[in-house]
Chains A and B, each alone.
Chain A
Amino acid sequence: MKTKGLRILVNIAAMITFGTLGFLLLFILIKGIPYVNLDFFSKTYTQQNASVLPSLLTTLMVVAGSLLFATPIGVFTAIYLVEYANRKSTIVKIISVAIDTLAAVPSIVYGLFGFLMFVTALNFGFSLIGGILTTTIMILPLIIRSTEEALIAVNPSLREASYGLGAGKLRTIFNVVLPVAMPGILSGIILAIGRIVGESAALIYTLGSATILPTSLGQSGRTMAVHMYMLAQEGLHVNQAYATGVVLIVIVLILNFISTKASQHLQKQ
């Protein structure tokens, strides 16, 4: 009797979860798909077409740019924390607290910091580089933490085997530990990409919301999430906002698919 009751409860919870998600997806798809047309992918944005293409490309640029900075810094920080630093030392504890705090900071705070630091103090203005640096700081804790966990999860006996053969620390880390940890690191990077793609608050105040496709690091642009926000806020192209949502969802699905395949491929090796 008791188990039956629990079962019903569990089923209801699952139905609410899937139901909400399904409704949300369907709602956006139904509202948006009719407006995903060739016009919507025009090379330049105009008042008439509200084209998503410049913002799509800008999103890719911001993602690529921040990963370029955040991945090496984040992965090497994690390697330092796991493989080199004494885990009980004060500096490691301070770094840990800093990482956790950064991870919990709301994105609007990053936006404000980026605005004050990059846009005004460093005088970059609303710019691609300002947006990229802001999202870099934002995703660093994510990449550090996931890399750290992936490194810790590597079986210590593999390290022993490598040292036992006379391999040094560098060779052990790069040839034994990192390849094993790669799927975990990769999933952290994918999460980070997801965060950038979905980010609006931190970018509105740093990257800005220009409708053009930036052709230099100093130019302003808008990511898809910002594009969506602006369209909805202006109220003239609400349908195109939904269509942007459709494109965003498709991109996220593609990313997830690629990451799953990549980590499967890595695990097979």
Chain B
Amino acid sequence: MHQKKMKIENLNLWYGDFQALYAVNLDIYENQVTALIGPSGCGKSTFLKTLNRMNDLVPTARIEGKVEFDGQNVYNPEVDVNELRKKIGMVFQHPNPFPKSIYDNIAYGPRTHGIKDTHQLDEIVERSLRQAAIWDEVKDHLDRNAQSISGGQQQRICIARALAVEPEILLMDEPTSALDPISTAKIEDLVNKLKENYTIVIVTHNMQQASRISDRTAFFLNGYLKESGETRKIFLNPEKEETENYISGRFG
């Protein structure tokens, strides 16, 4: 049985006067892939960003409720948000490598957290790139600008960059929506491998993707978490009519 890594309780979120999340309760299990699905604007990306407090960057965002990570509410005032984001890494919808060399992209996180030793950095860069299944493609030109490679490669560079700080959880916000089918397949394979060592929460628009790669699925609609549970159950035998309608493509 997998352990609970995060526990979200009664989470509400507002952007100004607009309420984007209503009383969300969800558990995230260790070494599992949790997929967040739902139509556009349902709050799944917003929810994802509450987990590592990326919504702090939105000045109008206001949050009530609890997001527990290893037993501590991440919104406690004494939590160091930089330390939190080191432990809960993130991969974004569009590949966003820095306009620096591939090496400097991967080394950015470790350097941020105080690692200066060149040998150690070399090791981290190689290990992260291997973990992200892109080492063989880029090992001969680590000094190339990371923005000059293909979109699929860029996204794996971004995954490697996130892994380089050794997070415990990896949040992925529709990481394949801007990629071609072959790159998408590679990233899906990768997610499958990564869950051995990491806990993964992935937002996806793609129902097949959710059913292929996730162990658990949470279905959002209009800011409410409608249903969550094991992926197999959600897809084969959903409890709510809305879930069934969405999964079978009747709306969204």
B115-156, CB < 8 A from A: 145
The answer to whether B108 and A165 have CB atoms under 8 Å apart is: yes
Q: Which of A59-67, A69-77, A155-163 contacts B (4 or more CB under 8 A)?
A: A155-163
- A171 proximal to B (CB < 8 A): yes
Given the contacts A86-B59, A160-B54, A160-B57, A165 and B96 also touching, CB distance less than 8 Å: no
Given the contacts A86-B59, A176-B98, A180-B99, A163 and B108 also touching, CB distance less than 8 Å: no
- B92 proximal to A (CB < 8 A): yes
Contact partner, B96, options A157, A166, A175, Cβ 8 Å: A157
The answer to whether A160 and B83 have CB atoms under 8 Å apart is: no
A164 to B108, CA, bound (A): 11
Residues in A with CB closer than 8 Å to B92 are: 157, 160-161, 164
- B86 proximal to A (CB < 8 A): yes
The answer to whether A166 and B112 have CB atoms under 8 Å apart is: yes
The answer to whether A165 and B162 have CB atoms under 8 Å apart is: yes
- A258 proximal to B (CB < 8 A): no
- A250 proximal to B (CB < 8 A): no
Contact partner, B112, options A158, A165, A179, A268, Cβ 8 Å: A165
Contact partner, A158, options B59, B96, B113, B162, Cβ 8 Å: B96
Residues in B with CB closer than 8 Å to A165 are: 85-86, 89, 108-109, 112, 161-162, 165
The answer to whether B112 and A167 have CB atoms under 8 Å apart is: yes
Contact partner, B90, options A86, A164, A175, Cβ 8 Å: A164
Scoring A residues 145 to 187 as 1 if CB is less than 8 Å from chain B, else 0, what string do you get? 0000000000101111111111110010001100110000000
A155 to B99, CA, bound (A): 11
Residues in A with CB closer than 8 Å to B82 are: 166-168
A158 to B113, CA, bound (A): 18
A162 to B113, CA, bound (A): 12
A167 to B99, CA, bound (A): 17
- Give the residue name and chain of the B residue nearest to A154 (CB): B99
The distance from the CB of B41 to the nearest CB of chain A, in whole angstroms, is 19
The distance from the CB of B109 to the nearest CB of chain A, in whole angstroms, is 4
A176 to B98, CA, bound (A): 7
Residues in A with CB closer than 8 Å to B98 are: 158, 161-162, 176
Residues in A with CB closer than 8 Å to B108 are: 162, 165, 167, 175
B151-179, CB < 8 A from A: 158, 161-162, 165
Given the contacts A86-B59, A166-B83, A166-B86, A161 and B96 also touching, CB distance less than 8 Å: yes
- B243 proximal to A (CB < 8 A): no
- B7 proximal to A (CB < 8 A): no
Residues in B with CB closer than 8 Å to A164 are: 52, 54, 85, 89-90, 92, 162
- B94 proximal to A (CB < 8 A): yes
Residues in A with CB closer than 8 Å to B84 are: 166
The distance from the CB of B169 to the nearest CB of chain A, in whole angstroms, is 12
A160 to B96, CA, bound (A): 9
> Which A residues fall within an 8 A CB radius of B?
86, 155, 157-168, 171, 175-176, 179-180, 268-269
Q: Which 8 A-B pairs have the closest CB atoms?
A: A166-B86, A164-B90, A157-B96, A165-B109, A166-B85, A166-B82, A167-B112, A161-B96
